[in-house]
């Protein structure tokens, strides 16, 4: 039993040593390192006790094992306690350090966004895209032929006065209408044709509702048996999506050289729903686009047999739709890039 007596003494020394060592530790990391050294199977004060087992006489092995286990459990318990205590302290310190003052004014992160015109253009493109239209990118510099003559506006035609043109040379000009793109498409594609063509157009015109550069979107459908009814059905769908579900269309006779018959398309005022307000100037209706059945002369000029095919075309003012949608009364506000203005416009 001498060995057990010695062991008891040794164990109580180990205990006191561990207790006093623990006094000098002040972090969970310290506890972890210390525990590792104490429990190390080769050199640890407790870990190495198991190694001694071989030298213990057989009859004492059970008691020896029990005592070693006891101190092991005790030490483990002390380490856990200390670890918990320090972890709690450390957590508290971290929370205090990381405290967020929710009363501070937020830091504004300015995020870029699409220009209102681009937003509206994208919406229009999405709507017609869902109806099966594809996009044709036209040219901003056109010839007199594509911009006028092929659209049934010959040299001396009074309709040329409707659009003050920036000529680059007697032959070349900045296109005044995206309608010029229709001709390129009809010259190069066989019906059925179903395209939209958004882009910049230019006219020598400058006041609150006109800018020398503005944006339009042309639409063109050519196929067998196309009529004005198809146009109205399509436009009804379009205005419901771009304004709101209650919006209706109304066609009024008009004149464009490249369509026959031609119409002006009005939408029921989406602000007062027809009652009459400032936006619709008391009429309940707002003019939004020009359209019509493609003039046979134009089809034939592009090599399309007008006895077999018919077409419809429409031209939408993208800026006009943006101004209406966002309540902008001066087109310049769209092009001056004043962030104080643009920031306020969003869907
Ligand atoms: N190009 C015309 C304009 O700029 C708009 C237009 C009217 C386009 C009727 C069309 C159309 O395709 O059919 O005023």
**Residues 226 and 318 grouped into a single domain:** yes
What mean pLDDT do residues 205-230 have? 92
What's residue 321's pLDDT?
92
Q: pTM for this one?
A: 0.69
**Residues 188 and 53 grouped into a single domain:** no
**Residues 278 and 306 grouped into a single domain:** yes
**Residues 63 and 171 grouped into a single domain:** no
* Within a domain: 111: no
Boundaries of domain holding 13: 4-98
- Look at 41-45, 218-222, 327-331 and tell me which has the smallest mean pLDDT: 327-331
Q: How many domains does the chain have?
A: 2
pLDDT in tens, 144-197: 999 999 999 988 877 676 668 999 998 999 999 999 999 999 999 999 999 999
> Is pLDDT of 1 > 80?
no
Closest Cα to atom 8, ligand 1: which residue?
Answer: 315
CA 38/CA 32 separation, integer angstroms: 10
* Within a domain: 106: no
What's residue 161's pLDDT?
67
pLDDT in tens, 87-130: 999 999 999 999 888 888 888 887 788 888 999 999 999 999 99
* C-alpha of residue 257 to centroid of ligand 1, in Å: 9
**Residues 207 and 337 grouped into a single domain:** yes
**Residues 56 and 170 grouped into a single domain:** no
Give the atom of ligand 1 at the shortest distance from the alpha carbon of 182: 12
What's residue 110's pLDDT?
79
Closest Cα to atom 13, ligand 1: which residue?
Answer: 291
What's residue 133's pLDDT?
97
Which domain-ending residue is among 33, 64, 98? 98
* C-alpha of residue 204 to centroid of ligand 1, in Å: 17
């Amino acid at each position: 039993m001498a060995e057990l007596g010695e062991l008891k003494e040794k164990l109580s020394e180990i205990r006191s040593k561990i207790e006093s060592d623990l006094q000098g530790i002040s972090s969970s990391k310290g506890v972890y390192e210390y525990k590792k050294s104490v429990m190390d199977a080769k050199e640890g004060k407790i870990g190495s006790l198991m190694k001694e087992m071989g030298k213990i006489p057989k009859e004492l092995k059970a008691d020896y094992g029990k005592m070693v286990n006891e101190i092991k459990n005790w030490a483990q318990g002390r380490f856990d306690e200390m670890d918990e205590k320090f972890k709690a302290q450390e957590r508290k310190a971290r929370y205090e350090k990381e405290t967020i003052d929710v009363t501070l004014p937020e830091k504004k992160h300015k995020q870029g966004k699409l220009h209102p015109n681009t937003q509206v253009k994208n919406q229009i493109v999405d709507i017609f895209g869902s109806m099966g239209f594809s996009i044709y990118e036209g040219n901003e510099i056109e010839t007199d032929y594509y911009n006028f003559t092929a659209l049934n506006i010959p040299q001396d035609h009074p309709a040329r006065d409707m659009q003050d043109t920036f000529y680059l040379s007697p032959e070349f000009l900045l296109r005044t209408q995206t309608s010029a793109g229709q001709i390129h498409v009809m010259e190069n594609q066989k019906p059925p044709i179903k395209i939209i063509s958004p882009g910049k157009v230019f006219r020598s015109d400058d006041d609150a509702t006109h800018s020398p550069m503005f944006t339009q979107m042309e639409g063109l459908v050519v196929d067998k048996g196309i009529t004005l009814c198809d146009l109205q059905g399509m436009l009804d769908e379009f205005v419901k999506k771009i304004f709101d579900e209650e919006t209706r269309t109304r066609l009024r006779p008009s004149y464009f050289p490249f369509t026959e018959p031609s119409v002006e398309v009005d939408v029921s005022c989406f602000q007062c729903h027809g009652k009459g307000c400032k936006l619709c100037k008391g009429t309940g209706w707002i003019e939004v686009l020009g359209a019509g059945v493609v003039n046979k002369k134009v089809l034939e000029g592009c090599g399309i047999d007008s006895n077999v095919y018919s077409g419809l075309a429409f031209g939408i003012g993208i800026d006009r739709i943006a101004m209406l949608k966002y309540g902008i009364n001066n087109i310049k506000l769209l092009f001056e890039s004043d962030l104080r203005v643009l920031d306020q416009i969003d869907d």
